[in-house]
Amino acid sequence: MSSERVVSGMRPTGAMHLGHYHGALKNWVKMQAEQECLFFVADWHALTTHYDDPSIIETSTWDMLIDWLAAGIDPSKATLFIQSQVPEHAELHLLLSMATPLGWLERVPTYKDQQEKLADRDLATYGFLGYPLLQAADVLIYRAGHVPVGEDQVPHIEMMRELARRFNHLYGKEKGFEEKALEAVKKLGGKQSKLYGELRIAYQEQGKQEALEQGKAMIESAQSLSSVDRERLSGYLEGSRKRILVEPQARLTEASKLPGLDGQKMSKSYGNAIALREDKDSIIKKVRTMPTDPARVRRTDPGEPEKCPVWQLHKVYSDSDTKEWVQKGCRSAGIGCLECKQPVIDGILKEQEPMRERAQKYVDDPSLVRAIVADGCAKARALAQETMREVRDAMGLNYR
């Protein structure tokens, strides 16, 4: 298990669909086995765009949590919580906001994009502008190493890194830090100490990213050091400041290869989605009525899979024999479209069976989900409070 902590969140948009599963969720399920993971429902984020109609957020939150569990997120492996139940996120957001240049927020591409896309809403608000800063607080408060996100979110992660660096620079001036760091360097031992010094210069003076990575690996493997010394060495490697906040890295989630029923991107608002726990009959009906290659008007007309959204589903759900059967049968008009759709229906139903099973006990007894979340919130809060103590300390807000 890697020592890097993973943090990611999703807005509560209600029931999840297969596009979410084949994009983010499947990736989360994989990560929870490899790294320490914290996954949360970003309910405050939902408010940044839906402040005028918050009524659906609560139901959406519980539905989404059941979907996560159904998809295989395992509460004994990953910590699941709700953002607003860990109010420390808001405190860090506020404190970060003091030193965040407005230009950094205005320059984030999603700021203008979303305003244009959601033109029916008034998003000229303080909360919406600060959205990426809240997201930064979500991650920095756990000193996470990795953030699995889609491509559109990468600029947000870039900004988090800049924020962490700026924060450490402004508030990480510890008296005697350099001396203490040099003491810790000595503890690495002759050869290693020398190498550390060279890597530090290679990174700081020549901007060599590999040197930073190598230095980090070296610190991590220096088993004899205390965690305090290790933190010092990390901070000193990157600059001459104490490392209070950690710069996270984006872990790009591959986009889902599963289009919607009409071949467009799957989205609830396009009406082309299949929900994660959709009723069997409804799935069968949706696939049976989905459009095919428009050239196949009659059963005897040959078709072209590349022009057919059903083929995109075969690519996800069918084995190579079936795919060959589709290619040949379609182009020679040897098979009918309903016949062709059957393996896709079977594939989706088979994929959903364990999900429906896992979800059932939570649907039957919602108190189980409440308990998982209460436990997750407590765990997340303890971690968040630890960071906040240091943050307050560094900013002179501890009043002891």
Judged by the rule CB under 6 A, the positions of this chain that interact with ligand SF4 are: 292-293, 296, 303, 305, 308, 310-311, 326, 330, 335, 337, 340-341
| Least Cβ distance, residue 151 to ligand TRP (angstroms) | 11
Is position 78 an interface residue for ligand TRP (rule: CB under 6 A)?
Answer: no
What is the amino acid identity at position 47?
L
- 3 state SS of 1: coil
Q: Which of residues 38-57 bind ligand TRP (CB under 6 A)?
A: 42, 45
Assign 12 to helix, strand or coil. coil
Q: Is 311 helix (H, G, I), strand (E, B) or coil?
A: helix
Which part of the chain contacts ligand TRP (CB under 6 A), choosing from 147-155, 188-196, 219-227, 346-354?
A: 147-155
Shortest spacing between CB 36 and ligand TRP, in angstroms: 15
Residue 11 CB, nearest approach to ligand SF4 (Å): 34
With CB under 6 A as the contact rule, the residue among 5, 11, 20, 200 that binds ligand TRP is: 11
Nearer to ligand SF4, 109 or 334 (CB): 334
Over 28-92, what HEC string results?
A: HHHHHHHEEEEEEECHHHHHHHHCCCHHHHHHHHHHHHHHHHHHCCCCCCEEEEEHHHCCHHHHH
308 binds, among ligand SF4, ligand TRP, none (CB under 5 to 8 A by kind): ligand SF4
The yes or no reply on residue 19 touching ligand TRP (CB under 6 A) is: no
Least distance in angstroms from the C-beta of 13 to ligand SF4:
30
147 binds ligand TRP (CB under 6 A): yes
Q: How many residues in the shown chain lie near ligand TRP by CB under 6 A? A: 13
Alpha helix locations (H) across the chain?
18-20, 26-34, 43-50, 57-71, 88-98, 102-106, 109-117, 126-129, 131-140, 154-171, 177-187, 190-206, 209-221, 227-238, 280-288, 309-317, 320-331, 337-364, 366-395
Tokens of residue 265, six digits: 């991107």
Contact partner, 92, from ligand SF4, ligand TRP, none, Cβ < 5-8 Å per class: none
> Which option in ligand SF4, ligand TRP, none does residue 11 bind, with CB closer than 5 to 8 A by kind?
ligand TRP
Q: Which is nearer to ligand SF4, 37 or 287 (CB)?
A: 287
Measured from the CB atom, is 45 or 277 closer to ligand TRP?
45
Q: Is 399 helix (H, G, I), strand (E, B) or coil?
A: coil
Interface with ligand TRP includes 27 (CB under 6 A)? no
Enter the tokens of residue 216: 């980090």
Give 304 or 365: the residue with its C-beta nearer to ligand SF4. 304
Cα–Cα dist 17/21, whole Å: 7
Determine if 256 is a binding residue for ligand TRP (CB under 6 A): no
Separation of alpha carbons 9 and 142, rounded Å: 13
Task: Please identify, using beta-carbon distances, which residue of 92 and 326 lies nearer to ligand SF4.
Answer: 326
Q: Does 114 contact ligand TRP by CB under 6 A?
A: no
Residue 330 site contact among ligand TRP, ligand SF4, none (CB < 5 to 8 Å, cut-off depends on kind): ligand SF4
> Is residue 164 part of the contact set for ligand TRP (CB under 6 A)?
no
Q: Which long-range contacts (CB under 8 A, 24 or more apart) does 181-188 make?
A: 181/232, 181/233, 181/235, 181/236, 184/225, 184/229, 184/230, 184/232, 184/233, 184/236, 185/233, 185/236, 187/224, 187/225, 187/229, 188/218, 188/222, 188/225, 188/233
Residues binding ligand TRP (CB under 6 A): 7-11, 42, 45, 135, 138-139, 147, 149, 153
